[in-house]
Structure 1
């Protein structure tokens, strides 16, 4: 899979001059959830049926972040590196990463079609039903159809519904904020995951019999609800289960500047410092709480571990 960064205008760029005919799935695609996957897979199917190249166009940073439309967009379900990896697994040939800034936000719908899509030799654009583009989102799917004539076909993918609700990044964020990783997994198609580096912590876990790996996230991930989770990860090619706490450790601290992630991995004794781990959130066990003593905390951690083992033994 080829990854091509783009910055507007691209008419004279090497990427445009070297372009070959293609289908193009367009969107931000945060999370690359099941609804997004329908758009991308349809692009791949159309490309293969017509002998074209399959491509995805995404935007970085998030348009709503650049336009100041909400602090929630400072974090992502899939930071760029994770998102691109999901595109690769779906089988995309090319990923265009368009740098989104205020200048690009001011591009008209017509200029987007004439000065972005046509130079890239897009023969068919596949978008979601709620796709918008151009200045202040003034271009809609019907606009794209009209502007694309006669050389760019447009296909609009209808929303994917689950439990009478539209699958969306917003719905996944809500599920994670409420401590429902099972719902997030249904919407994403895979467990919600966070990749980070194991860093040195306070070392307290080892002294109480539960050594932990302190994870420093490698991107601006959406942080699930604070509390204790049953998790899965992979170490040296092997699946490893465990329990994770996200929180401010109120038993030992009056206040930490931000929540930390501490994972206790079952049946693993190796040195993980400096290594990257991808934590998959399987089930929320309980909210974080302050204990009256270290002994109370140890008893609760033992209970958490038993509960997590039971949950994960039944997990597919």
Structure 2
């Protein structure tokens, strides 16, 4: 799958390059959860049935980072992760519109005319709550109206699981409360974070539980502090493990930066500098301060046993 970054307004060269009959799923798609996947599958299905390429159009960064001048936010699925999931769904090209001050002011009509029509989108698929144009004034109904006879529009109804609407907001709420299994159900896959293994304090080796300190390589949404059963991917090799997210209160009273530390089961290789992917499988317990190192080690042992059992049961 190709990723193509574009800016508004499109240049004549861009229009010439990207103008071809195509089917396009539209949305922000943070999480690419079950609801997003249904939107994308409908687009891919229509594209294949009608002999056209299947595309997705999203935007980056988040609007509030531009409009409210906020610092970079966190993402359930950064762009690279979105690409991987979308490619598995059959998407052939991902158009990423740079969200800037100019694009934020585009009217719904101009968005359709200057971008979708200019790129010869013949069929668009959107979720029921899709919003576009200045201040999000565009609705799916307006998109259908603006499409006229040049572009058909399919609107996908909300996806529900256990009578709850699947949404990125709900996934974030689950991860904030340690409800990893519920978040994974909404995503249709384990929540994951990619990171680089960096040097830590080296204390894990002294207590019999060496850890890989993982520094996220993108602005990921980090689950709440606590201990997790995880799977650690090193290339195409998968290992079970237990991860602590937090500030290590047994050793630091205050001022410690949040860290992600994974103990990989039955593993002794030096992987400093390597990239890993952490899949969160289940939440074990909150982070806590222990009165002694011996008490901490005993708890880590119990955590590891529980993590092994949880991973084996999945």
TM-score, length of structure 2 as denominator length: 0.97
* Offset of residue 310 of structure 1: 1.1
Question: CA 1:166 to 1:242, structure 2 compared with 1: closer, same or farther past 3 Å?
Answer: same
Matches within 5 A, 1:284-295: 284-295=283-294
1:234 aligns with 2:233: yes
CA–CA distance in structure 2, aligned partners of residues 249 and 98 of structure 1: 40
1:96-149 per-residue CA deviation (whole Å, 9 max, x = no partner) reads 000001210100000000000011110001000000111101110111011111
Q: Which residue of 1 aligns with 2:23?
A: 23
| Mapped partners of 1:239, 1:82: distance in 2 | 18
CA distance in 2, matches of 1:237, 1:17: 36
Change (3 A) 1:70 1:171: farther
- Scaled by the length of structure 1, the TM-score of the pair is 0.96
Distance 1:69 1:117 in 2: 28
1:178 aligns with 2:198: no
The 5 A counterparts of 1:92-131 are 92-131=91-130
Pair 69,190 (structure 1): closer, same or farther in 2 beyond 3 Å:
farther
Q: Give the distance between the partners of 1:52 and 1:28, measured in 2 at CA.
A: 22
CA drift of 1:259 comes to 1.1
- Secondary structure of the residue that 1:284 maps to in structure 2? strand
Structure 2 equivalent of residue 13 of structure 1 = 13
Residues 197 and 215 in structure 1, CA contact (< 8 A), matched pair in contact too: yes
Separation in structure 2 between the aligned mates of residue 164 and residue 283 of structure 1, nearest angstrom: 22
Specify whether residues 257 and 250 from structure 1 end up closer, same or farther in structure 2 by C-alpha distance, changes over 3 A only: closer
Aligned to 1:205: 204
- Aligned-partner Cα distance in 2 for 1:193–1:236: 14
Query: Could you tell me which residue of structure 1 aligns to residue 250 of structure 2?
Result: 251
Q: Residues 4 and 15 of structure 1 are in contact (CA less than 8 Å); yes or no, is this contact kept in structure 2?
A: no
SS in 1 for 2:12: coil
Residue number in structure 1 paired with 2:195: 196
CA apart distance, 1:68? 2.6
- Please give the alpha-carbon distance, in whole angstroms, between the structure 2 residues aligned to 1:197 and 1:113: 41
Structure 1: runs of 5+ lacking an equivalent: none
Distance in 2 separating the partners of 1:65 and 1:80? 16
Distance apart, 1:216 and its partner CA:
0.1
Secondary structure, aligned partner of 2:77: coil
Within a 5 Å distance, the mapping from 1:1-316 to structure 2 comes to: 1-68=1-68, 74-315=73-314
Q: Is the 8 A contact 2:234 2:277 kept in 1?
A: no
- Please state whether the residue corresponding to 2:231 is helix, strand or coil: strand
Give, in angstroms, the shift of residue 4 of structure 1. Answer: 1.0
Query: Could you tell me how far 1:70 is from its partner in structure 2?
Result: 7.9
Compute the RMSD of aligned alpha carbons: 1.4
User: What SS class does the counterpart of residue 13 from structure 1 fall into?
Assistant: helix
Q: CA shift at 1:81, angstroms?
A: 1.4
Q: What number of residue pairs does the alignment pair up?
A: 314
d(CA) in 2 for partners of 1:169, 1:177: 12
Deviation at 1:17, TM superposition (A): 3.8
Closer, same or farther: CA 18–226 of 1 in aligned 2, 3 Å: closer
- After superposition, the C-alpha distances for 1:215-252 in whole angstroms (9 at most, x for unaligned) are 00011111101000000122353220000000000111
